[in-house]
Amino acid sequence: MDAISVIRTKRDRGELTSEQIDWVIDAYTRGEVADEQMSALAMAILLNGMNRTEIARWTAAMIASGERMDFGALSRPTTDKHSTGGVGDKITLPLAPLVAACGAAVPQLSGRGLGHTGGTLDKLESIPGWRAHITGEEMLNVLDSTGAVICAAGDGLAPADKKLYALRDVTGTVEAIPLIASSIMSKKIAEGTGALVLDVKVGSGAFMKTIEDARELASTMVALGTDSGVRTVALLTDMSTPLGLTAGNALEVRESVEVLAGGGPQDVIDLTLALAREMLDAAGLKDADPEKALSDGSAMDVWRRMISAQGGDPDATLPTAREQHVVTAPASGVLTRLDAYDVGVAAWRLGAGRARKEDPVQAGAGIELHAKPGDTVTAGQPLMTLHTDTPEKFDYALKALPEAYDIAPAGTSFSPLPVVRERIA
């Protein structure tokens, strides 16, 4: 085997053999295939695609590059959720304890934000004392004692993916659907969960901008999970507008706690319950009632135990930014559009996100929304409040917002997109 022949095969729109895929993933992980060679192959895959057999073998080779986790000793069925990322997407925070309160075990391996999309670990690290990095033994102990754990994946889980993702990030090949699907599913299958629900975002604030691309990605991942013996279903969910009323780390934790306490924005509640029902159904717990677990406080009880088990203080005061700037409505009427991407970029520029993986984030930075599409607003009314510790960032953040919203004349009819647009199984 040699890298050039593998690159030429895909460059010329050929089908990679299982032997070629196994060799190139293993050789790249060991450093035998150079970054420039793998980036050429990734670009060929972006341009020419892969079929189902190729994607399945690529995913299996990524899994084989590292360890696999085993939750067979747990008395509960395991079920997990993965989101492809968005703006204000704090759903994992109320969802994991909610599903655990209904009898499942939720081993949630999460990541950090990059660019305009937020990261679950960044959000939870705004809670004083909370630790993202725990050992495999600690993870099992937290799962056994609370039913849910949210933590960072260990270095031994699909190391080929970690190396390849970093390369794709700097070579313009992140958007390759076969590579997105295999990246996500290699980690989730290696994680060892029995069932998986995929939250595939679609819209301006998502990586998949069109319903067609989102459907293709979801179908590819569902097939990968099914072929690997993991009960897998996907929901295509709207990300044209930010989820909830906050985008930022501590801001989103605060809103998640509101949902667990029986309040919070309706779109966050609706999506949390929709995903919880899918996760419980996939785990064989069809009779569980997540709505009851949300309203009777049992999900909140699991949240408190889960946070405490990883060193966090669920009663601690969350960080707040030192400076605020209010954006007001320029006219009266009906807010008909609030662009998720623009809001996400502004929150990122305020310090809530990072441009590179090693960049720090501000716990209190972000954007608080005071109106959502369909709401009636009056001229001068606050539309959003920007939060940051570094006020010199306001001007840069504000440059992302002039085209972020539309206000139509009073009386204009408005029909919002549903939070869940499609289901793929």
Residue labelled with tokens 């069809």: 286
Q: Which residues contact 109 (CB under 8 A, 6 or more apart)?
A: 80, 151, 152, 153, 157, 187, 188, 191
Residue 404: what are its φ and ψ, rounded to 5°? -80, -15
Annotated catalytic residue 168: yes
Distances (CA, A) of 312 to 126, 257, 274: 10, 14, 28
Q: Exactly one of 57, 82, 123, 215 is catalytic; which is it?
A: 82
Give start and end residues of each alpha helix (H) in 12-50.
Answer: 18-30, 35-48
Helix (H, G, I), strand (E, B) or coil at 227: helix
Question: What amino acid occupies position 33?
Answer: V
Query: Among the residues of 237-297, which ranges form H helices?
Result: 249-260, 266-282, 290-295
Instruction: Given the residues 80, 161, 238, 339, select the one marked as catalytic.
Output: 161
240 carries an active-site annotation: no
Strands 376-377 and 333-338: antiparallel
Selecting among 39, 126, 182, 183, the annotated active-site residue is 183
CA 299/CA 308 separation, integer angstroms: 14
- Strand ranges (DSSP E) for 68-140? 79-83, 106-110
Three-class secondary structure of residue 339 per DSSP = coil
- Cα separation, 161 vs 88, in Å, equals 26
Q: Which of 168, 188, 201, 215 is catalytic?
A: 168
**Do the Cβ atoms of 209 and 203 come closer than 8 Å?**
yes
Contact present, 224 and 60 (Cβ < 8 Å): no
| Rounded distance between C-alpha atoms, residue 364 and residue 387, angstroms | 7
Does residue 183 have an active-site annotation? yes
Which among 316, 338, 318, 315 is positioned nearest to 252, based on CA atoms? 318
Can 296 be counted among the known catalytic residues? no
Residue with tokens 């998986």: 196
CA 292 – CA 101 distance, rounded (Å): 10
The catalytic position among 187, 188, 387, 393 is 187
Annotated active-site residue 133? The verdict is no
The span from the CA of 188 to the CA of 68, in Å, is: 10
Residues with a catalytic annotation lie at 82, 161, 168, 183, 187
